[in-house]
Amino acid sequence: MSSIDHPPAAVLFDRDGTLIEDVPYNASPSRVEAVPGAREALDRLRYAAVPIGVVSNQSGVAKGLISLSALEDVNARVEELLGPFDVWAVCPHDDGDGCACRKPAPGLVLSAASTLGVSARDCVVIGDIGRDMEAARAAGARGILVPTAQTMPAEVAAAWEVAADLAVAVEMALNEPCPRCRRMGSTLGLLR
């Protein structure tokens, strides 16, 4: 496959259900298990020199089910299994907290992009549920859905782009221009 003229400025991943198996409110590093093919997909981006990050809702912190220390330990285990990430953006709030960071709000995507020094409009967000895609859209980023057994059919239908697995999603991000997007100079702009 040939690469697009301008690869994404960064690719941002949801954590649970996308990079690692979804264990609700996981506070134990020993329960972290990588999704098949995750390391290879991430290494493909590293080889292409595309920055990578994690954007993750972790409401278990707000609910008192996970301590910040345990969350850091789990995230460290993720990096042990999958390699280093250029940025982590984590929302510790619950739905009722009204924060601007919790997906589907754009805050995590905007924060990660800002930390990397890139525009969110030039990023790709890869996730497994509608909230991930809504956050991408709200931030002006491209979203690619990788459905799992937990992904609702309506979320798949609403997604602009759907990939069978992480490897396909990464190749789409690197090699295929967004079908609902157009280039505006160096910025990836969404068509309305």
Catalytic positions:
14, 16
Alpha-carbon distance of 141 to 107, in angstroms, equals 12
8 Å CB contact between 92 and 29: no
What one-character DSSP code corresponds to residue 22? -
Q: To 5 degrees, how large is the angle CA 38–CA 41–CA 44?
A: 150
Residue type, 173: A
8 Å CB contact between 128 and 164: no
Alpha-carbon distance of 141 to 179, in angstroms, equals 13
Residue type, 135: A
Which three-class secondary structure state does DSSP give residue 127? strand
